[in-house]
Structure 1
Amino acid sequence: MKALIRADAAIEIGMGHRVRCQALASAFERLGWTCQFVVHHRYRQFASDHDLLIDCEEDLLSLAEQADLVILDHYGYQADNIARLFQVQPNLLVVDDMNDRGIFPAKWLVNPLNQVYSSQVAMPLTGGQYALLRSSFSQHYSESITPDRLLLTLGGTDPLALTLPLLKALEKTGFSLDKVQVMLGKNARNSAEVLAYCEEKHIAWRQGVSDVTPLMRQARMAISAAGGTLFELACMGVPTVFAQVAENQTRSLEQHVPMTWCDAVRFDDVSEKQQVERIEHLIRLVMIYWQDDTWLTKARKIARSLVDGKGADRVAKTVHQEFSVMI
């Protein structure tokens, strides 16, 4: 059986759609499926050699008819676009975050947040148990490691180029830079400047890491963007102060911050001057939480209870079983 996955990645889009869909593709492939990404040609720089490139969304419709399943993870598709795709391929799985596209039909819908959808979605798969993480996250957390690092990671692309100003703000507080671990995506903005600063200040850094779990296991706390990494950090039990860098991260933070394992500062809706003020505010929060052992212990426990890393397998098995019934 073949699944087509419609998802793009780019500096402005980020890597989150691609990463979580790759986790889902791997889960399907373990069940014997063949999976292939469908990518718009303008984002071919972020595509692989095996992807199908399309010139317009109309091209997806003809491809969808020839597949057994279409997985759609794309904010460019509103309710009417999804409905049209569903008419062509009723075996449609939509991956969503914000639940702000109106009422649309789908056979399956995946959202790692607790959201309510219309009856036109036949099988909604919602909540943290369906967070689409890579298989490395499903391994048990090691209690033998005493985490002592502050992990700084702004996602695959760092769209607002926050890594360097955050590092400089940390240095101004007198925080021990030998406790900082920088993790950059392969396509992170201003990465050359960030790495030069890390070398100058003897800050540990890694770029383009394929398995992030070892670095997260070492983290006492994290400063992170609030995309898919939010669910990874929750799974690994890492208390975090999130930097919101995109509108689509709003719902995740609205649900997770009140659970008290994390905090957040918004950056996607402010001027350059306000950004400086919010960087200072974020670092102040980090300093407070870093020294609060009671909060850190409680936050780690809460975070781990929310996501177990097996969501991709749950989704793939649910869909696969439905196909077994149809056959």
Structure 2
Amino acid sequence: MKLLVRADASVEIGMGHRVRCQALIHAFDELGWQCQFVVDRRYQAFASPEDCFIGGKSEEECKSEFLALAKQADVVVLDHYGYSAEEITELHQHQPNLLVLDDMNDRGDFSCKWLLNPLKETYSQRIECPLTGSSYALLRPTFQRLESSDSTPNQLLITLGGTDPLALTWPILDALESFGFPMQDIQVLLGANAKNADQVICFCKEKHIAVEQGITNVTPLMQRAKLAISAAGGTLFELACVGVPTLFAQVADNQTRSLEQHTPLGWCRSIRFDNVAESVRQQRIEALVKEASQRWLDKAWQERARKTARSLVDGNGAKRVAEKINSYFSAP
């Protein structure tokens, strides 16, 4: 059985689409499927040599080439905001076994066989099989095998996504130092393609702050976190799975819906950065750091937050999706 996944990654797009699709591919690999990414050639710096590259000049060129490839697969996964409702429906007409990954539910009415959204959203009846809610969050394989830790979490984890698109890591660290936060309690996690990584790493070495970049298994760092400052993409569901109370820095519009649904649950807080001018960001960084310092000492809130977060995500979402689709083909 052949699975094609249409997803891109870049500094502007971020790494979230690719990371969650990699989790899905791993689950299908375990079931014996042949899987491959289909990537816009303009973004091959963030891809793998094993990917199938298309287009290279325009989005329209990519869509035309992908339409031809989609017809040859058994299942197609589309995780791409560049597709309108009409284009998704057209793709579905050419490939009936289409799985669309969505976050915002803002593209209007379209059709597909499966629709995956880790948030609680309602879609039209043109979606044959909606897979919605946090039980379908696509987490990396290491989150399926979380081992309990005997040590007490004692670190502030700072992770602003695979690319840190707004370059917030360094100014947050600088503000934490100015606020008098204990720098020896901080753990910085940088994505492989994070903006200003050299500046951050240099600052961390100077201030004796623990820092890691581009590591594949992030669960040990999350398990040691008493509190996190994080971007609110797919990392939101990873932190929930581990049970880490978190202050989210919203760095993209597509993170709005997840924060609207998760913040009222009490395990996290959020401050928005993507819709304000650079001159305003420093004020919001200071507000974020002030909140972090307060929450760092609030043990009662931390305990409630950990319990709530763990109840939301079990780490088996990718396996759950792959088995459901695989059973569709194996059914008599």
Contact 2:155/2:225 (8 A) holds in 1: yes
Alignment of 1:1-327 (within 5 A): 1-55=1-55, 56-325=62-331
- What is the root-mean-square deviation in Å for CA atoms of aligned residues? 0.7
Deviations 1:266-287 (A, max 9, x none): 0001111210000000111111
Residue identity in the other structure for 2:103 = D
TM-score (norm 1): 0.99
1:141 offset after TM fit, Å?
5.0
CA distance, structure 1, for counterparts of residue 125 and residue 147 of structure 2: 38
Deviations 1:222-251 (A, max 9, x none): 000000000000000000000000000000
CA distance, structure 2, for counterparts of residue 323 and residue 284 of structure 1: 53
Deviations 1:46-68 (A, max 9, x none): 11011011102100011011100
Residue identity in the other structure for 1:234 = A
Contact 2:243/2:305 (8 A) holds in 1: yes
CA distance, structure 2, for counterparts of residue 72 and residue 147 of structure 1: 37
Deviations 1:283-303 (A, max 9, x none): 111111111000000000000
CA distance, structure 2, for counterparts of residue 238 and residue 209 of structure 1: 19
Residue identity in the other structure for 1:50 = E
Contact 1:98/1:248 (8 A) holds in 2: yes
1:145 offset after TM fit, Å?
2.1
CA distance, structure 1, for counterparts of residue 237 and residue 91 of structure 2: 29
CA distance, structure 2, for counterparts of residue 169 and residue 259 of structure 1: 28
1:139 offset after TM fit, Å?
2.1
CA distance, structure 1, for counterparts of residue 227 and residue 302 of structure 2: 8
CA distance, structure 1, for counterparts of residue 115 and residue 19 of structure 2: 18
Classify the secondary structure of the residue corresponding to 2:311. helix
Residue of structure 1 in register with 2:58 after alignment: none
Contact 1:41/1:53 (8 A) holds in 2: yes
Classify the secondary structure of the residue corresponding to 1:306. coil
* Structure 1 consecutive aligned stretches of length 4 or more whose deviation exceeds 3 Å: none
TM-score (norm 2): 0.97
Residue identity in the other structure for 1:44 = Q
Contact 1:4/1:67 (8 A) holds in 2: yes
CA distance, structure 1, for counterparts of residue 4 and residue 314 of structure 2: 26
Contact 1:23/1:312 (8 A) holds in 2: yes
1:144 offset after TM fit, Å?
1.2
CA distance, structure 1, for counterparts of residue 172 and residue 4 of structure 2: 39
Contact 1:141/1:236 (8 A) holds in 2: no
Classify the secondary structure of the residue corresponding to 1:57. helix
Residue of structure 1 in register with 2:59 after alignment: none
Q: How many residues align?
A: 326
1:143 offset after TM fit, Å?
4.5
Classify the secondary structure of the residue corresponding to 1:287. helix
CA distance, structure 2, for counterparts of residue 219 and residue 186 of structure 1: 21
Classify the secondary structure of the residue corresponding to 2:130. strand
1:36 offset after TM fit, Å?
0.2
Contact 2:149/2:223 (8 A) holds in 1: no
Query: Which consecutive residues of structure 2, in runs of 5 or more, have no partner in the other structure?
Result: 56-61
CA distance, structure 2, for counterparts of residue 315 and residue 212 of structure 1: 23
Residue identity in the other structure for 1:9 = A
Classify the secondary structure of the residue corresponding to 2:274. coil
